[in-house]
Amino acid sequence: MLTKEIGLQMRRGNFPTPGVFLQRIRTERGFSQEEVARRLAITQSYWSKIENGKMEIRIREWFRFCRMMGIPPTFYGYFVPDISL
């Protein structure tokens, strides 16, 4: 499972770029870019730019993405306060 693989890599100090991290989690869970974008109320083009490192993910999309994927918002190694959106 990629989530465990990413976790092990992160513990070793090998952090994937945010876009690579998002793409790996998305594909592991079987979501298309179109489905993620639709659920986040953004365009597929915008999501593609996030995954390719051309745009940063906004906090609102980050929380929604984490909920959708079933991972805690702190999974990527950053402390993010748990706020309701």
Query: Going from the N-terminus, what domains does the chain have, and what CATH number goes with each?
Result: 2-69 (1.10.260.40)
Question: SS3 string of the chain?
Answer: CHHHHHHHHHHCCCCCCHHHHHHHHHHHCCCCHHHHHHHHCCCHHHHHHHHCCCCCCCHHHHHHHHHHHCCCCCCCCCCCCCCCC
| pLDDT score for 10 | 56
Q: Which residue has the higher pLDDT, 20 or 78?
A: 20
**pLDDT by residue (tens digit) across 31-78?**
999 999 999 999 999 999 999 999 999 989 999 999 999 988 876 654
Question: What pTM, to 2 d.p., does this model score?
Answer: 0.71
